[in-house]
A and B are shown apart, each in its own frame.
Chain A
Amino acid sequence: MDRTAPFVRTAMIPQAPPPRGETGLVHWVRANLFATPLDAVLTVLSVVVVWQIAAGIGPWFLNAVWNASSLAQCREILAGEPGACLAVIRDRWHQLLFGFYPSEFYWRPTLALILMLVALAPILFAGAPRRLLWFSAVYPALAYWLLWGGTIWFPALALAGFAVGYGAFRAVHAAVPLIAVPAAALATVLWWVFLTGPLSEALHAILPVGLTFVRSDSFGGFMLSTIIGVTGIALSLPIGILLALGRKSDMLLIKTISVGFIEFIRGVPLITLLFTASLLLNYFLPPGTNFDIVLRVVIMVTLFAAAYMAEVIRGGLAALPRGQYEAADSLGLDYWRSMRLIILPQALKISIPGIVNNFIGLFKDTTLVVFIGLLDPLGLTTAIRADSAWNGIFWELYIFVGACFFIFCFGMSRYSMHLEARLKTDHR
């Protein structure tokens, strides 16, 4: 038998570079763009599509005319070249934002918007000072006063209704704790229905503080969308939670009514509800009642969003393991405490993506108010075209409105991701 020559490597082989085509740009292109023949075809197709779109839209944007007073002038400047007439945005941006709100009062919605951001800060971001929450509580009345104007006493007294309710709650709670909540609600409603109106008139007569009243048919544009959207979003969450709890309730009657309400609202298009608000609400209310169309729309939109919200939250409630409910019971918590402290925080956390999707949907749906004659941004594009100077202008307006909606909705969906990450408690 031959002895094989022993081989012992005494020196390290120097590190070799990776084979050609396994690193760098070439590899990346190969792996991500041309991995299979199908991939190659798709890549080429996509590039062609993107190129076509860019070639079509690029010059159109680059040639955009910003200074013109009518579409005819725009076309004159462009002299047959393709180009956008963005002068319409420059000329009419205030209308797209504020509708026909009196221009000398533009500072009011602007201030309301800035204050809204301040009021939202402590709710949306954990880092904001907690004391701002008091401002958030006052904000709805303040915003109402800023936008509609009129005497300051009315919103102030309406806000005072909550204080009245709290007082009633404290007083009754000392005597009969169980009926404290209904009693407080009753006191608040009575205050609003019977005392707020006369008292605010009386106080206004003594101390007239107020802003010029602006009728809501001059509201429009993104201001209107934001008012309807934000109010609907803020109100639909608590109502949706109550409806979801009602649907999961053991009490047959409450469950039936909740299910009936949710399924009815989810079964009909929003448009029919809006038409109900504009045409039929006068039938259902006492003769002679006639209240603001924007408020009517807000009520309908809120009910609509609340039904969808209830379904999302019900999903969250159902996803919680049964043990959580039993654990809350075994701690001796009553129904509302167990919901508030144990169940809802977890259920709401699970439902965040759905809730935010609903918010986005609601904000987009505010465009439907155009069908009942309110001037949302899309309705205003028609109103702007009705002017002979801008007759026939489509794309620029649609693109501007679309871009605004996109920024708002995309921002909301990014925020939901941030919130999910912040509230994540598992260790995966």
Chain B
Amino acid sequence: MGRADAAASGGFSLGMLIYDTRYRSLTIQIVFLMLFMAAAAWLVENTIENLEALGKDFSFRFLSAPAGYDINQRLIDYNNQMSHARAMLVGLLNTLVLAAAACVTATIVGVIAGVLRLSRNWVVARLMTVYVEAFRNIPLLLWILLIFAVMTESMPPPAAFRGEAATSSMLLFDSVAITNRGVYVPEPLFDRSLGTVDLGIFLVSLDLVALIIAVVAAVAINRAILRRAEAVQNLTGIRPTTWWQSILVLGGIPVAVLVALGFHLGFPELKGLNFSGGTHLRNSLIAMWLALTIYTGAFIAENVRAGILAISRGQTEAAFSLGLRPGRTMNLVILPQALRVIIPPLISQYLNITKNTSLALAVGYMDLRSTLGGITINQTGRELEGMLLMMLVYLVLSLSISTVMNIYNARVKIKER
């Protein structure tokens, strides 16, 4: 008590800034802040000076200038007279499509491989171990280049599909053609199309909107059916049979909409030197997609395996002793718990996929990195602005994915006090 009083009565002395724990953290932070500001000011000043020396200014006006280059894969309307901003948007959409597709397939591959690696089957478990180790220990870029080389070097040219003595044939009842120029798959066509609506930036197909609404509605109705079944079960102890209703709703509504729109598939056909009709998936897209899928799938497999192993054997035994069948044990007891362990690393794998799409440069896939960060920067000489803008876009993308996944994680997470 004596010392505290003495310190209090002694008033404030300069030494207390360092020696008194009440003030020390403040002192450190202020010194740190000053250093940080000084460093930031130094960088900004250097940048201003360098820009002046080069005779450049800092502006984003170049985004509205005509881009002047073509993009071979575009999801929205684009030609080389449109602006750099438009080209950036096309690139961003290509990035997003690739990332979304790779996330879905990598999850499927990863879950299957992770479960199979725990299989009692000796051959299958070893095979999955080889798969996981091979892909985790070899750079992604190598896999991208390798698959791209397989697609462009080892696949038959479209001419090989021609004539009576064709050396190659199309797969799946003449609907898919794998050539060295890319993969041709059937495209969805609508006889009684609803047309498109112009949103100002791009056109939206009303057929697609109708289909999405139909699927969402079907899922919602199915949920209502299941909820009612559950209510009945809670009341009477007998669960009404719902599977045929579910099938009818989930399958029937979308099919009805498709029929109403006159849906049919447009098959690719060999015309002249190349295939026409159908959707053309370029080699660059296929290489990126496959490489990201199997590379990230190996990582996800490890996460899934770790998640399942984290659930103690007692949980399975407890579920069995309650009389649950193996399938229900998996669905009701093991998976919900394993999911909690699996989801956080899964989030970072999705983020990795999104960031790794920027390797598309290696095979000439026109993603954000190749449009904004590549050709636009080269043509306009705006490295600083272009790079900052690109980093910002990637940052927003990463943060939004992690926010969405974190919300999902919070929902499935174990509820603690």
A residues near B, CB below 8 A? 31-33, 35, 39, 42-43, 46-47, 49-50, 178-179, 250-254, 257, 263-264, 266-272, 275-276, 279-280, 282-287, 360, 364-365, 367-368, 370-371, 378, 381, 394-395, 398, 401-402, 405-406, 409-410, 413
* The residue from A31, A257, A271, A279 contacting B36, defined by CB atoms under 8 A apart: A257
A-B contact pairs, 30 of them (CB 8 A): A33-B122, A35-B120, A39-B120, A42-B116, A43-B121, A43-B123, A50-B123, A250-B25, A251-B28, A254-B29, A254-B32, A263-B399, A264-B395, A268-B355, A268-B394, A271-B358, A271-B359, A276-B387, A280-B387, A282-B50, A283-B50, A286-B49, A364-B140, A367-B139, A381-B145, A394-B146, A394-B149, A394-B153, A398-B146, A409-B137
Whether B245 sits at the interface, judged by CB under 8 Å, is: no
Whether B124 sits at the interface, judged by CB under 8 Å, is: yes
Known: A267-B395, A280-B387, A287-B49. A46 touches B123 (CB 8 A): yes
Considering only CB atoms, which chain A residue lies closest to B19 in the complex?
A178
Whether B127 sits at the interface, judged by CB under 8 Å, is: yes
Judged by DSSP, the binding face of A is helix
Measured CB to CB, the closest approach of chain B to A29, in angstroms, equals 9
* The residue from B32, B123, B142 contacting A33, defined by CB atoms under 8 A apart: B123
Q: B18 touching A178 by the CB < 8 A rule? A: yes
CA distance A270 to B140 in the complex (A): 13
Measured CB to CB, the closest approach of chain B to A250, in angstroms, equals 7
Q: B120 touching A252 by the CB < 8 A rule? A: no
Q: B356 touching A269 by the CB < 8 A rule? A: yes
Interface code B353-384, partner A: CB below 8 Å = 1, 0 otherwise? 00110110110000001000100010000011
Name the A residues within 8 Å of B373 (CB-CB).
Answer: 272, 275
Measured CB to CB, the closest approach of chain A to B404, in angstroms, equals 14
Name the A residues within 8 Å of B351 (CB-CB).
Answer: 266
CA distance A268 to B78 in the complex (A): 27
Considering only CB atoms, which chain A residue lies closest to B149 in the complex?
A394
Q: B138 touching A42 by the CB < 8 A rule? A: no
Known A42-B123, A394-B153, A398-B142; 13 more pairs at CB < 8 Å: A42-B119, A251-B28, A264-B395, A267-B394, A267-B395, A267-B398, A272-B358, A272-B373, A280-B387, A283-B47, A287-B50, A378-B145, A405-B142
Q: B46 touching A47 by the CB < 8 A rule? A: no
Considering only CB atoms, which chain A residue lies closest to B53 in the complex?
A287
CA distance A53 to B124 in the complex (A): 15
Measured CB to CB, the closest approach of chain A to B149, in angstroms, equals 4
Interface size on B, residues (CB 8 A): 55
Known: A271-B361, A406-B138. A50 touches B127 (CB 8 A): yes
Name the B residues within 8 Å of A370 (CB-CB).
Answer: 141, 362
Q: B383 touching A365 by the CB < 8 A rule? A: no
Q: A360 touching B137 by the CB < 8 A rule? A: yes
Name the B residues within 8 Å of A279 (CB-CB).
Answer: 377, 383, 387
Judged by DSSP, the binding face of B is helix
Name the A residues within 8 Å of B395 (CB-CB).
Answer: 264, 267-268
Measured CB to CB, the closest approach of chain B to A342, in angstroms, equals 19
Q: A410 touching B51 by the CB < 8 A rule? A: no
Name the A residues within 8 Å of B145 (CB-CB).
Answer: 378, 381, 398
Interface code B96-122, partner A: CB below 8 Å = 1, 0 otherwise? 000000000000000000001001111
Measured CB to CB, the closest approach of chain B to A385, in angstroms, equals 10
Whether B232 sits at the interface, judged by CB under 8 Å, is: no
Measured CB to CB, the closest approach of chain A to B232, in angstroms, equals 34
Q: B139 touching A284 by the CB < 8 A rule? A: no
* The residue from B127, B358, B377, B384 contacting A283, defined by CB atoms under 8 A apart: B384
Whether B238 sits at the interface, judged by CB under 8 Å, is: no
Q: Which chain B residues numbered 115 to 161 have a C-beta less than 8 Å away from chain A? A: 116, 119-124, 127, 133-134, 136-142, 145-146, 149, 153
Measured CB to CB, the closest approach of chain B to A226, in angstroms, equals 14
Q: B29 touching A251 by the CB < 8 A rule? A: yes
Considering only CB atoms, which chain A residue lies closest to B121 in the complex?
A39
Q: B122 touching A49 by the CB < 8 A rule? A: no
Q: A283 touching B46 by the CB < 8 A rule? A: yes
A-B residue pairs, 5 tightest by C-beta:
A409-B137, A267-B398, A269-B355, A364-B139, A269-B358
Considering only CB atoms, which chain A residue lies closest to B393 in the complex?
A268
Name the A residues within 8 Å of B36 (CB-CB).
Answer: 257
CA distance A132 to B287 in the complex (A): 48
Q: A406 touching B361 by the CB < 8 A rule? A: no
Known: A267-B394, A267-B395, A271-B358. A32 touches B137 (CB 8 A): no
Measured CB to CB, the closest approach of chain B to A90, in angstroms, equals 21
Whether B390 sits at the interface, judged by CB under 8 Å, is: yes
CA distance A264 to B146 in the complex (A): 31
Interface code B34-53, partner A: CB below 8 Å = 1, 0 otherwise? 00100000010011011101
Whether B391 sits at the interface, judged by CB under 8 Å, is: yes
CA distance A284 to B153 in the complex (A): 43
Q: Which chain B residues numbered 226 to 263 have a C-beta less than 8 Å away from chain A? A: none
Name the A residues within 8 Å of B332 (CB-CB).
Answer: none
* The residue from A272, A284, A360 contacting B391, defined by CB atoms under 8 A apart: A272
Q: A280 touching B384 by the CB < 8 A rule? A: yes
* The residue from A33, A269, A286, A409 contacting B369, defined by CB atoms under 8 A apart: A269
